[in-house]
Chain A
Amino acid sequence: MGDKQKTENNEIVLSCEDLTKEYTSGLIRTKITQAAKNATFDIKRGEIVSLAGESGSGKSTIARMILRLIKPTSGNITLNDRSIDSYKIRDYYKQVQAVFQDPYSAFNPFYKVDHIISRSWGLREDNLDDEERKEVIESIFSSIGLNPNEVLGRYPHELSGGQMQRLLIGRSLLIGSQLLIADEPTSMIDASTRAGVLNLLLTLKKENGLSVLFITHDIGQAQYVSDRVLIMKEGEIVEQGIVNDVFCSPEHPYTKELLGAVPSLYEKWDEFP
């Protein structure tokens, strides 16, 4: 699917340069663990970039640094050519939103969904009256493929994992964010509903020009959803490029090893090395 041509817009939304995060441990902080080492990459508008790697490779560390949940040891991150630290935190989260692994812990269990959604209106600048708000909600719900009447009056525990992840994505649409950090959004939901979330990301990319950093350990999903991939190993990005280049003709030995271990639905492994 010639995604290369589709992204004519080459405007860079987010760029990371030499991003490093070190954790110190031990008695007098002598032991240094490098969770991320000199990570350099950028995300363009309307592009889905996958960050793939094993657990412990530093994928989530990068996500958390972009989300300003932890501070990088060195290196800088810029959003729309401005350092992310120069944004007020409130303005920053208007533009960057996240979906995490566990949808069940992302919602306040005491409130119904409409309350949870209404909390997000505060981040929008326009002051809409109730009628207009209703229209916006309806258009957002139709784009995330949920029926507002079925969902709004319910408590989070009454929804399925897939529905909740869609709601979270919908919430970032409501705020009008440009960049979505999706940290393993499908790993806790059933295989049969995963495809829905992946397709939603693809639609939003096409229609709203949303940029997504899709973090996953599932190579199949990364291949399906992304335009470009970054392969991470022990904190380092060992290979990056257009999805078909990396996955069909990998260059780095680690990428080769990783791809060799992925079970495919359509072909059986002949031998086990």
Chain B
Amino acid sequence: MTNHILEVEDLKGYYRGLFGVVHAVDGVTFSLDRGKIMGIAGESGGGKSTLAQLVSGSPPPLLYHEGGRILVDGIDIYNIDPEELRTEVKCKRMSYVPQASMESLNPVKRIRDFIFDVVGQRTDKRVRTKERKEEVLEMAAKHMKTLGLEKQVLDRYPHELSGGMKQRVVIAISTLWNPKLLIIDEPTSALDVTSQKRMIKALLNLKQIGIIESMLYISHDLTSLRQLCDECIVMYGGKIAEIGDMDGIIDDPIHPYSKLLTSAIASYDSKGKCTHELKSIPGSPPDLREPPTGCRFHPRCPSVMDVCKTKEPEMIMDGDGKRGASCWLLTSKTG
């Protein structure tokens, strides 16, 4: 058994639509250690969600896996039988909670009946008998409890629950089979600050109790990533701009894009108003149908050089291979 729960090698995923090919994820390589939480940060249009959809094993229509390997717990998910992927990998080894997943609850069913449906589908056996029902409910209630939900929620309809509760119900359902890896896409973006905190706490709790082992957490909100994650990837234009430990990326970013991203955020500080002026990043994200040549960030980069416009920078990792960035500034510094 390797030490990595997830290994992604040179992953490419393109959207093939009527208006051309969108290079949404273009050569992404990283690995996630067991027991770690990795965050994926970046602007909209950076390829965060596409990456998550590719790792989930079932990309939506128009998104195609174009190359590269994804190993989830040692299983190459694009190289196995789809049925095996469904029964062996999904939910058991990896669970994916997409963006706006709270809308996926069935509005005419109580949560408990919805859970019976899901369990029935997964196990190819409908939940009929009283004993089986109780067994399933007990399991569900246990998961709900770790997420801070009461047992009574099971008897409610989705419209009776608040957004944060629905979100947590969905997470509870997707972790019913104790997946080793949970991929979760923007769970807090539709929530209030107080429910956001509750959500982050619930996710950490899931990991501490051992229901899940590792997590891939996608968010554009660096402040909540900071509270939760051990490691972080900053994506820009379908590529990894910087990868490394969370604290390092925030406190001492290497890539110009991560530097700009952290300085653009108005963060609350209990010590007083921040004294520096926030800077927004000029320009807008690139059109990935025709990505810019060379470094994809060069049209917006404040420290652009001639080489950036023509040649693509390679990912340069530091000594212990944990921290890296793809920027020509690094090569020119080290010679």
* B267 and A192 form a contact (CB under 8 A): no
Interface string of B267-291 (1 = CB under 8 A from A): 1111111110111110010000000
- Find chain B residues with CB under 8 A from A262 CB: 193, 223, 268
Q: A221: which of B197, B227, B266 is its contact (CB, 8 Å)? A: B266
Cα A129 to Cα B221 with chains together (Å): 47
Cα A13 to Cα B31 with chains together (Å): 57
* A192 and B43 form a contact (CB under 8 A): yes
* A192 and B264 form a contact (CB under 8 A): yes
Task: Assess whether A265 is interfacial by the CB under 8 Å rule.
Answer: yes
Known: A265-B222, A272-B201. A244 touches B192 (CB 8 A): no
* A264 and B268 form a contact (CB under 8 A): yes
* B273 and A264 form a contact (CB under 8 A): no
- Find chain A residues with CB under 8 A from B161 CB: none
* B280 and A263 form a contact (CB under 8 A): no
- Find chain A residues with CB under 8 A from B43 CB: 190-192
* B267 and A1 form a contact (CB under 8 A): no
- Find chain A residues with CB under 8 A from B265 CB: 191, 194-195, 220, 265
Cα A221 to Cα B250 with chains together (Å): 18
Cα A269 to Cα B223 with chains together (Å): 11
* A244 and B272 form a contact (CB under 8 A): yes
The A-contacting residues of B in range 221-273, CB under 8 angstroms, are 221-224, 226-227, 250, 260-262, 264-273
* B266 and A195 form a contact (CB under 8 A): yes
The B-contacting residues of A in range 105-139, CB under 8 angstroms, are none
Q: Name A's interface SS.
A: helix
Task: Assess whether A89 is interfacial by the CB under 8 Å rule.
Answer: no
Q: Which of A22-30, A176-184, A253-261 contacts B (4 or more CB under 8 A)?
A: A253-261
Q: A268: which of B222, B227, B268, B277 is its contact (CB, 8 Å)? A: B227
CB distance from A146 to the nearest CB of B (A): 12
Q: B266: which of A224, A260, A266, A269 is its contact (CB, 8 Å)? A: A224
* B274 and A194 form a contact (CB under 8 A): no
Q: Which A residue sits closest to B205, measured CB to CB?
A: A272
* B193 and A244 form a contact (CB under 8 A): no
Q: Which B residue sits closest to A249, measured CB to CB?
A: B270
Cα A123 to Cα B277 with chains together (Å): 34
CB distance from B285 to the nearest CB of A (A): 8
* A266 and B267 form a contact (CB under 8 A): yes
CB distance from B211 to the nearest CB of A (A): 17
Q: Which A residue sits closest to B275, measured CB to CB?
A: A1
- Find chain A residues with CB under 8 A from B54 CB: none
* B227 and A269 form a contact (CB under 8 A): yes
Interface string of A185-225 (1 = CB under 8 A from B): 00000111111101100000000000000000111110111
* B269 and A223 form a contact (CB under 8 A): yes
* B193 and A219 form a contact (CB under 8 A): yes
* B275 and A191 form a contact (CB under 8 A): no
- Find chain A residues with CB under 8 A from B224 CB: 263
- Find chain A residues with CB under 8 A from B58 CB: none
Number of A-B contacts (CB under 8 A): 122
* A199 and B280 form a contact (CB under 8 A): yes
Cα A263 to Cα B194 with chains together (Å): 10
The range of chain B's interface size is 35 or more
- Find chain A residues with CB under 8 A from B281 CB: 192-193
Task: Assess whether A248 is interfacial by the CB under 8 Å rule.
Answer: yes
- Find chain A residues with CB under 8 A from B270 CB: 247-248, 259, 264
Task: Assess whether B196 is interfacial by the CB under 8 Å rule.
Answer: yes
Known: A257-B194, A261-B194. A196 touches B280 (CB 8 A): yes
Task: Assess whether A55 is interfacial by the CB under 8 Å rule.
Answer: yes
Task: Assess whether A74 is interfacial by the CB under 8 Å rule.
Answer: no
Q: B44: which of A190, A225, A268 is its contact (CB, 8 Å)? A: A190
Task: Assess whether A33 is interfacial by the CB under 8 Å rule.
Answer: no
Cα A272 to Cα B272 with chains together (Å): 23
* A265 and B277 form a contact (CB under 8 A): no
* B266 and A220 form a contact (CB under 8 A): yes
- Find chain B residues with CB under 8 A from A244 CB: 272-273
Task: Assess whether A11 is interfacial by the CB under 8 Å rule.
Answer: no
Cα A198 to Cα B320 with chains together (Å): 40
Task: Assess whether A170 is interfacial by the CB under 8 Å rule.
Answer: no
Task: Assess whether B204 is interfacial by the CB under 8 Å rule.
Answer: yes
Cα A247 to Cα B268 with chains together (Å): 9
Residue among A1, A195, A219, A259 with most chain B CB within 10 A = A195
Q: Which B residue sits closest to A262, measured CB to CB?
A: B268
Task: Assess whether B220 is interfacial by the CB under 8 Å rule.
Answer: yes
Known: A217-B193, A257-B194. A266 touches B269 (CB 8 A): yes
Could you give 16 example pairs across A and B, Cβ below 8 Å? A54-B192, A194-B264, A195-B279, A199-B277, A221-B266, A223-B266, A223-B269, A224-B274, A225-B266, A247-B270, A264-B223, A264-B269, A265-B262, A265-B267, A266-B269, A269-B227
Which residues of B are interface residues toward A (Cβ below 8 A)? 43-44, 192-194, 196-197, 200-201, 204, 220-224, 226-227, 250, 260-262, 264-275, 277-281, 284
